[in-house]
């Protein structure tokens, strides 16, 4: 449920019940002025409700210990590249080559000797995109 859904449900449960009068009385006592079109509880109530009930899990705003340096290494990027290539091959948008091929910026195959001195060399490719 979204925050709006929770607020709509809560307001519908309060309206017409004995708690509505108690809530309005409490708001008047604490100097909270309400418009006639305003809902009984709002986003601030929801935030405080979540703080009072830490066992409830929310979809957003959860912090967890995370060290980015642990995730930014060669093996992680290699794994990501391999998974991406696998998806392209499985979907039929690429085919895997037997040997790596030196490719130029425009997709042309380059000879291995020209790779080192040719500035148009883009990357070594193991798959060909169709």
Q: For the residues 102-121, what does the mean pLDDT come to?
A: 62
Grade residue 119 by pLDDT with cuts at 50, 70 and 90: very low
User: DSSP character for 54?
Assistant: T
- Residues of the chain with pLDDT > 70: what percent? 78
Q: Where are the extended beta strands (E) located within the chain?
A: 94-104, 121-129
pTM of structure: 0.42
Grade residue 9 by pLDDT with cuts at 50, 70 and 90: very high
Which residue ranges make up each domain of the chain? 3-52, 68-129
Q: Is 6 helix (H, G, I), strand (E, B) or coil?
A: helix
- Whose tokens are 């169709």? That residue is 130
């Amino acid at each position: 449920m979204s925050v709006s859904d929770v607020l709509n449900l809560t307001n519908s449960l309060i309206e017409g019940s004995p708690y509505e009068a108690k809530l309005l009385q409490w708001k008047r006592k604490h100097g909270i002025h309400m418009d006639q079109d305003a809902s009984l509880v709002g986003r601030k109530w929801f935030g405080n409700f979540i703080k009072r009930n830490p066992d409830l899990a929310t979809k957003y705003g959860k912090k967890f210990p995370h060290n980015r340096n642990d995730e930014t290494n060669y093996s992680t990027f290699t794994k990501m590249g391999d998974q991406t290539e696998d998806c392209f091959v499985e979907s039929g948008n690429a085919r895997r080559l037997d040997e790596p091929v030196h490719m130029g910026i425009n997709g042309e195959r380059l000879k291995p000797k020209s790779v080192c001195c040719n500035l148009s060399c883009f990357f070594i490719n193991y798959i060909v995109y169709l």
